[in-house]
Structure 1
Amino acid sequence: MNLLLTSTGLCNSSILEALRDMLGKPLGSANVVYLPTASLAVPGDHGWLLEHMNQLHSLGWKEFDVLELNGLPRQVVLERLRHADVIYAGGGNQYHLARSIVGNDLADGFLDVLEDSVYVGLSAGSMVFSRNLTEHSADVIGDASDLHLLGATTIEPPFGLFDWYLKPHLYSPHFPERDDAWADRIVAKADFPIYFLDDETAIRVRDDQVDVISEGRWRYHP
């Protein structure tokens, strides 16, 4: 399984080179499918979504597909995922993405597809693999309002692959409250490991190996 879990996507040469290495062939020979599902639960202007999609499209893929996880038959979704060499899950509300995977009975089939593809997550798209994506972590991290927005008080992690939790956008100008003091307050309450990633950092998972690729700053608290 090859996962590239980023804060803001393929934003620098180190992360892009990691993708090329994991893919094993030129991007121009690869099919990518973009999953916008997480973004659909976020209100307001979606210019940021168009910016992310255009940036990804500009890399020159053989085929650029867009797939919403809700509303289509399960087998259709899995076939579209299986057709892709790279599955790219965009940002937004991680709980909506997780609920969409679980609610449409996609988790097991999704994991099977990931045995033969590369998964790239952007922000919310990177957060759904932790077994600690729960209502408890929502309270600890301070994301409970994003869960309650969906009319939910509990959340089932769709994959549960790791005990560590990933929180993106450390030091980001778009989230000015996410500084070291903010991270320290979370760590003081947390009873699970956390990676805090800035917007120039990614976690690379290759089977059982986990490492960090960064042109910026990040923190890990076991």
Structure 2
Amino acid sequence: MNLLLTASGLRNETLRDALRDMLGKPFSSANIVYVPTASVAEPGDHGWLLADLNRLHGLGWREFDVLELNGLPRQMVLDRLRNADVVYAGGGNHYHLARSITGNGLAEGFLEALENRVYVGLSAGSMIFSRHLTAHSADVIGDTKDLHVLGATSVDPPFGLFDWYLKPHLYSPDFPERDDAWADRIAARADFPIYFIDDDTAVRVRDGKPDVVSEGRWRFHP
């Protein structure tokens, strides 16, 4: 299983090169499916979503599919995932994305599809693999409002692959509160490891082993 877990997508050549290497063939010979599910739970202007779609589409894929996880037959969703060489899950509310996977009975089939494909996550799409994606971690991280806005007080991790948690947008101008002091406060409360990554960084996972690909800055708190 190959995962490229970014904060803000394929914003620089280092991240794009990492995906090319994981894919093993040109983008023009590959199919990609874009999953926007996390974004629909976010209110307000969605220019950021359009910018990411346009940037990604501009890489020149053989086929560019868009797949919403809710409202379609389960088998149709899984077939569309399997038709892709790259599964790309965009940003928004990671709890909504996780609950969409578990609530639609997609977790097992989703993981099976990823065994032979490359997964790229953007922000929320990168946060769904930790076994610490729970109401407890929401309290530790300080984003329980993102869970409560869904009318929920709990969440089950859809995959639970890793002990560590990923928190994106460190030092981001779009999230000015996410500075070193913010990361320090979270790390002091956390009883699990955390990667904090900026918008030019990704955690790459190959054969279950993580490493960091970056043109920016990041922190790891074990």
TM range (shorter): over 0.9
Q: TM-score, normalised by structure 1?
A: 0.99
Q: Distance in 1 between matches of 2:86 and 2:204?
A: 14
The amino acid across from 1:197 in the alignment is I
- Is residue 155 of structure 2 the alignment partner of residue 155 of structure 1? yes
The corresponding residue for 2:93 is 93
For residues 15-47 of structure 1, the C-alpha deviation after alignment (integer angstroms, 9 at most, x for no partner) is 100100000000000000000000000011111
Spell out structure 1 runs of 4+ moving beyond 6 A.
none
- Is residue 10 of structure 2 the alignment partner of residue 3 of structure 1? no
For residues 58-88 of structure 1, the C-alpha deviation after alignment (integer angstroms, 9 at most, x for no partner) is 0000000000000000000000000000000
Does the residue aligned with 2:169 lie in a helix, a strand or coil?
strand
The amino acid across from 2:109 in the alignment is G
The corresponding residue for 1:219 is 219
The amino acid across from 1:35 in the alignment is V
Q: Flag structure 1 segments of 5+ consecutive residues without an equivalent.
A: none
- Is residue 173 of structure 2 the alignment partner of residue 173 of structure 1? yes
The corresponding residue for 2:185 is 185
Q: Quote how far apart the aligned CAs of 1:208 are.
A: 2.4
Q: Identity of counterpart residues, as a percentage?
A: 77
Q: Distance in 1 between matches of 2:169 and 2:53?
A: 18
- Is residue 187 of structure 2 the alignment partner of residue 199 of structure 1? no
Q: Flag structure 2 segments of 5+ consecutive residues without an equivalent.
A: none
For residues 91-138 of structure 1, the C-alpha deviation after alignment (integer angstroms, 9 at most, x for no partner) is 000000000000000000000000111000000000000000000000
The corresponding residue for 1:124 is 124
- Paired residue total: 222
The corresponding residue for 1:38 is 38
Does the residue aligned with 2:213 lie in a helix, a strand or coil?
strand
The amino acid across from 1:148 in the alignment is H
Does the residue aligned with 1:108 lie in a helix, a strand or coil?
helix
Q: Distance in 2 between matches of 1:67 and 1:211?
A: 29
Q: TM-score, normalised by structure 2?
A: 0.99
Does the residue aligned with 1:170 lie in a helix, a strand or coil?
coil
